[in-house]
Amino acid sequence: MDHDPPDFFTEPFRGSNHAPLDPGSEADIVVIGAGPAGLAVAACLVQRGHSPLVLDRARDIASSWRHHYERLHLHTVKTHSALPGRPFPDDAPRYVPRQGVVDYLVAYARQHGIEPELGQNVTAIEPRQDPGAPWQVVLAGGRQIAANHVVVATGANRQPRAPTLPGEDVFQGRLLHSRSYRNAAPFAGQRVLVVGMGNTGAEIALDLVEHGVRAAISVRSPVNIVRRDVWGRPTQLSSIALAKLPPVLGDALASLLRNLTVGDLRRHGVPSASVSPLRQLREEGKTPMIDIGTVQRIKTGDIQVYPGIQRLTAGGVRFTDGHEHPFDTVLLATGYGAALAELFPYTDLSLDAGGMPPRVSGQGALEGLHFVGFDVRQPGGLLRTIAQQAPRVAERISERQARGGRHA
């Protein structure tokens, strides 16, 4: 493997924070987002001889990864999580930790000469009526950039979802979204309720109890749970293989594997989903909870499981079964949304029920407009999907330009 010494940079790469773009400027290709999807597309475009303008509202490359909770690791193996043109280092662990991902993305940007314009908050993407470039990117402060091609890579997790809970006005504890969680230290000596048992909620609850914090999980709906590794084989690789089978057979085997390795957790308060993990991912875009130890902590009673929340009280939570328990902090692991509609006030994107754009873009009314990093329905993880999508989008842009699709 080819290493660029050092493989992991210790100094943060902050891209370009100089001279803001002038009002009324133009760009051939604008890539919005300097996370994995934006960097992957930009790199593929650079390899084809293009010079995309990359914008990000944050002040650092890979900002989302920098601010995830500290114990986070990829749940997908490094060999199937790398972006086009650069594998993870040989000495990186199979499941790369959060900081390792940040360092990898910084090195990736350096390798491909990508210098995003950081601190540039895109507020709208609008179709232009004037001759020339078909799209206009509007930034905070009123700056506008006319573009022949716009690649939206702002991510499926752009905006936290934080439902309003009855009784918030009387609750005397802390109410936080999981994006505010870094580690267990601020919660020492507290009773913490984690709301939601997706991957974030399950792992935060595990992190809390491993550091001596009394933690519980509120589970409102049935959950699909799979082990990260089964008999030494990563579940990611198994899901990729099963997805190639006819759906009826693949779904049956996925459910059988789940039942054999996780079992029935109803007596512990966790009902299993009635559909297979593969089918739920394929039809709803919902990733199964990938277990790295939470289930065992639930079985031993270290993590209590409660049903949905009826309301918050002054000192805790009343659940839908009528029982009330004291808590000092309620932490909402209730997910994120892409929040794409607000970026396109004048364009019908035909978003699906989960708020995601079409899988194939850049055509018809959306000609010149592309989306990367939103297809959460594919097996094998989002990074793998990004690595597959980015070259295809770069190729479509190049082909369109070769056909004379670049506007003057």
We report the CATH number of the domain holding residue 382 as 3.50.50.60
- Find the domain containing 273 and state its range: 162-335
Is the residue at 17 inside a domain? no
Plot region of 145 (φ>0 → left; ψ -120 to 50 → alpha; else → beta): beta
Is the residue at 10 inside a domain? no
- Considering the domain architecture, whether residues 201 and 283 belong to the same structural domain is answered as yes
Is the residue at 50 inside a domain? yes
Query: Bridge-partner residues for 193, per DSSP?
Result: 216, 330
Domain end point (choices 286, 314, 335): 335
Overall number of domains in the chain: 2
Is the residue at 12 inside a domain? no
Could you read off the pLDDT tens digit of each residue along the chain, which spans 408 residues?
A: 333 323 323 334 444 433 344 545 888 999 999 999 999 999 999 999 999 999 999 999 999 999 999 999 999 999 999 999 999 999 999 999 999 999 999 999 999 999 999 999 999 999 988 777 899 999 998 899 999 999 999 988 888 999 999 999 999 999 999 999 999 999 999 999 999 999 999 999 999 999 999 999 999 999 999 999 999 999 999 999 999 999 999 999 999 999 999 999 999 999 999 999 999 999 998 999 999 999 999 999 999 999 999 999 999 999 999 999 999 999 999 999 888 999 999 998 888 888 888 776 667 778 899 999 999 889 999 999 999 999 999 999 998 887 765 543
34/122 Cα distance (integer angstroms) = 13
- Considering the domain architecture, whether residues 148 and 167 belong to the same structural domain is answered as no
CA 271 to each of CA 75, 222, 223, 256, 333: distance values in angstroms, whole numbers, following the listed order: 23, 5, 6, 16, 18
Q: Which helix (H) or strand (E) holds 144?
A: strand 144-152
Is the residue at 108 inside a domain? yes
